[in-house]
Chains A and B, each alone.
Chain A
Amino acid sequence: MDAVLLQILNGLDKGSAYALIALGLTLIFGTLGVVNFAHGALFMIGAFCAVTLNKVFALSSVAIDPVKTDFLGNPLKVKTPYLEKWFGDFGSLLMDWSVPLAILVSIPVMLLIGFVMERGLIRHFYKRPHADQILVTFGLAIVLQEIVKAFYGANPIQTPAPAAFVGTLDIGVMLGFAQNAISYPYWRLVYFCFACLVIFCVFAFLQFTTFGMVVRAGMADRETVGLLGININKKFTIMFGLAACVAGMAGVMYTPINSPNYHMGMDFLVLSFVVVVVGGMGSLPGAVLAGFLLGILESFASMNEVKQFFESIYLPSIDQVIIYLVAVIVLLVRPRGLMGRKGVMEE
């Protein structure tokens, strides 16, 4: 039972990342009708906002240590971060909290990147076939990741969570299990809560604001909204920026879970598309539901008992194919996805 609960927690945690990326993808597809294969790259850029802030905070003055030597036998250069030098303990605290603080940096950066992407490139492909959109956005994703690689290298870069969130919470004891039966990392719990908060905010924004109402109306019938004199294109540009922002924040908060590397966007992209398709193209609740659902399924599929069972019925490596298997079944049985609008993907 404790193992099952642990995998549910893992699934929710994985699902948080899938749901956040899929949410942005769905927002863009639902509003602009664009299949954005560069969305994973936006997640990656968000993560590198955290890396950059971490590096900026770590900028150091260099002093020569006359006693110690470096690998070539020269006097060792000792680095002291300026923040620590200037602000003492407060400087250390800022460095420690660089990941949460990076959220503040990522919001304007991602909004700007989103606007530039949409105005500079994507808008020219609104009326082109989906195949063209996929090609151009996929190409853009490759360009973006190569730029990041040129600056930061190919190796993962460790970006730790604040010391206050290092360690695990013994959830098992709270639920009446033995000590240490269900221990879960604090930061992953923070990530799950953060994802829920962002999802809630996006839904609230769309549901309870005039801007959101116009956007929803535009998603349903773009032409009619335009005929009412509303500049829907401008609003959709803002939505593109918002989607980029959601992906970027998801990337920032993900850095302590997996050390960021330039390829991390691609790792999530395909899975997130499957999530969108399973949830239903253009359906925001569908994207969120499918994200969590597929995250949990993927976690269960990686349990050794489950893998062995599927191997016994000639289905090896179920952990690698479970999401795609589910996608195939959903597309066969319900082509519009779990919560998709009738008619979408069904013709």
Chain B
Amino acid sequence: MTEKIKDNQVSRRKVLKASAAGTAFGVAPMFFHRNAHAYTNAPKGGSVTLGFNVPQTGPYANEGADELRAYELAVEHLNGGGDGGLLNTFSSKALKGNGILGKKVEYVTGDTQTKSDAARASAKSMIEKDGAVMITGGSSSGVAIAVQGLCQEAGVIFMAGLTHSNDTTGKDKKANGFRHFFNGYMSGAALAPVLEKMYGGDRVAYHLTADYTWGWTQEESIAAATEAKGWKTVEKVRTPLASTDFSSYIAPVLNSGADVLVLNHYGGNMVNSLTNAVEFGLRDKVVNGKNFEIVVPLYSRLMAQGAGTNVKGIFGSTNWHWSLQDEGSKAFVKSFGTKYGFPPSQAAHTTYVQTLLYADACERAGTFEPCMVAAALEGFDFDGLGNGPTHYRADDHQCFKDVLVVKGKDNPTTDFDLLEVVEVTPREQVEYPADHPMFAGGDLGSCNNGA
């Protein structure tokens, strides 16, 4: 009987085991199949592909080249090569230098040409043809917004590069897009108090603005911040992005009653407009009993090199500068400088950091699934990447950190030593509510994993 019962029990167990095994056997392929194609470009095999979409031709090609150098350095560090760079100083210790989730990091590159349509085409190709699981890069807000929209539709994460328009994380924000770089509002909030301190509170400003999304939002931000300090804005003039000679826009400034010229220009526009303004002797003029001043709200070291001696004494803001002395910045400058022979630009820094942040989020989420990676990035607090304690806000996917106010150096010692950090504006001073009017009108929407 015992024997029989035992046999019976065994038999039942066997049946149960067999059923479970059968179910598992039958369902498993479906499960794995579903997992394998549950989101866009789920990595197969031992590697994962990232897409670096930077301007390799066009007016921002030098910035694109620096971004690409930083991406290559990030990949090297993620795969355990080099000196590890910021992996050593990053507050999160999820990255081990063995790729991402044990998969070797590989990459493909695309050329945005600083044109929205070309940038979308190259991103699309990297997603559809090369199987990129994440797209990052760009040196223009128009491009960033266009590619961010594409990534949202395609179901991949977009880690924005150099984009400063309020709209990127404002009216055009997307659930799949994340920005580490600062924005126009932050520039205004950081710069205005310094400008008031240096030039007084009763100034009259004249804005020359590049006629596209970035220029508009920066103009709005700087005008609002300086007007809050007592400045008046006498004129806001939009200039075509394709302009090369700004003399006809600068000549009217002389007789406008303005004593400050704000150049909401970037790249070649900035170099040319600043050169023209200095050429017309604006900086030697005395208007309203005060020395005429020029302000360049968004500075870049690469641009400063183009403008040469014209940047001396001119104030602006920047996301990061190689002369910072925190451990993260020093580690990055050492890694980059040793490999390439010159210090990195702010574009290189933000793209390197974005790559590490994405990789870290994948490790913490335990998957490449975009929505789980996005969830890991949302609300993430970190440090050790060169900007002090930083917060990735969940509401709009904008990073909040300290902002640098810089000034063109009077006596540079090298070709790279062009800007000096005047003030590190604390994060609290540049923060704003997610529903701030300058960022209104958009909807983050919900994350799309492409399933």
Q: Is B290 an interface residue (CB 8 A)?
A: no
Which residues from chain A contact B238 at a C-beta distance below 8 Å? 317
Main secondary structure on chain B at its contact with chain A? helix
Q: At the interface with chain A, which of B129-137, B332-340, B378-386? A: B332-340
Q: A156-B271, A258-B272, A261-B268 are in contact. Are A72 and B248 (CB under 8 A)?
A: no
- The A166-194 residues at the B interface (CB cut-off 8 A) are 167-168, 180-181, 183-185, 187-188
Q: At the interface with chain B, which of A3-11, A24-32, A84-92? A: A3-11
A320 to B62, CA, bound (A): 27
Q: A154-B60, A158-B308, A320-B240 are in contact. Are A3 and B255 (CB under 8 A)?
A: yes
Is there contact, CB below 8 Å, between B244 and A158?
no
Distance from B272 Cβ to chain A, minimum over Cβ atoms (Å): 5
Is there contact, CB below 8 Å, between A154 and B254?
no
Which residues from chain B contact A123 at a C-beta distance below 8 Å? none
Convert B380-416 into 0s and 1s, putting 1 for each residue whose CB lies closer than 8 angstroms to a CB of A: 0000000000000000000000000000000001101
Main secondary structure on chain A at its contact with chain B? mixed
Q: Is B252 an interface residue (CB 8 A)?
A: yes
Is there contact, CB below 8 Å, between B59 and A180?
no
- The A295-320 residues at the B interface (CB cut-off 8 A) are 298-299, 302-304, 307, 317, 319-320
Is there contact, CB below 8 Å, between B281 and A155?
no
Question: A74 — nearest CB in chain B belongs to which residue?
Answer: B337
Which residues from chain B contact A188 at a C-beta distance below 8 Å? 247, 279
Is there contact, CB below 8 Å, between B248 and A10?
yes
- The B195-220 residues at the A interface (CB cut-off 8 A) are 211
Which residues from chain A contact B59 at a C-beta distance below 8 Å? 154, 261, 263
Which residues from chain A contact B338 at a C-beta distance below 8 Å? 72
Q: Is A342 an interface residue (CB 8 A)?
A: no
Q: Is B149 an interface residue (CB 8 A)?
A: no
Q: Is A20 an interface residue (CB 8 A)?
A: no
Question: A73 — nearest CB in chain B belongs to which residue?
Answer: B334
Interface residues on B, range: 35 or more
Q: Is B47 an interface residue (CB 8 A)?
A: no
Which residues from chain A contact B308 at a C-beta distance below 8 Å? 158, 160, 259
Which residues from chain A contact B343 at a C-beta distance below 8 Å? 71
Q: Is B251 an interface residue (CB 8 A)?
A: yes
A-B contact count (CB 8 A): 132
Distance from A252 Cβ to chain B, minimum over Cβ atoms (Å): 16
A6 to B308, CA, bound (A): 27
Is there contact, CB below 8 Å, between B279 and A185?
yes
Q: Is A56 an interface residue (CB 8 A)?
A: no
- The A134-171 residues at the B interface (CB cut-off 8 A) are 146, 149, 153-158, 160, 167-168
Q: Is A83 an interface residue (CB 8 A)?
A: no
Q: Which residues of A contact B (CB under 8 A)?
A: 2-3, 6-7, 9-11, 13-14, 68, 70-72, 76, 146, 149, 153-158, 160, 167-168, 180-181, 183-185, 187-188, 256-259, 261, 263-264, 267, 298-299, 302-304, 307, 317, 319-320
Those 7 A-B pairs whose CB atoms lie nearest each other, nearest first:
A158-B308, A154-B61, A168-B281, A156-B306, A299-B248, A302-B248, A6-B251
Q: Which residues of B contact A (CB under 8 A)?
A: 57-62, 65, 211, 235, 237-240, 242, 244-245, 247-249, 251-252, 254-255, 268, 271-272, 275-276, 279-281, 284-285, 302-303, 305-310, 322-323, 333-334, 337-338, 342-343, 413-414, 416-417
22 A/B residue pairs, CB under 8 Å, sorted by A? A2-B255, A13-B247, A71-B342, A72-B333, A72-B334, A72-B337, A146-B57, A154-B60, A154-B62, A156-B268, A156-B272, A156-B306, A158-B310, A160-B308, A181-B254, A187-B279, A258-B244, A258-B276, A317-B238, A317-B240, A319-B248, A320-B242
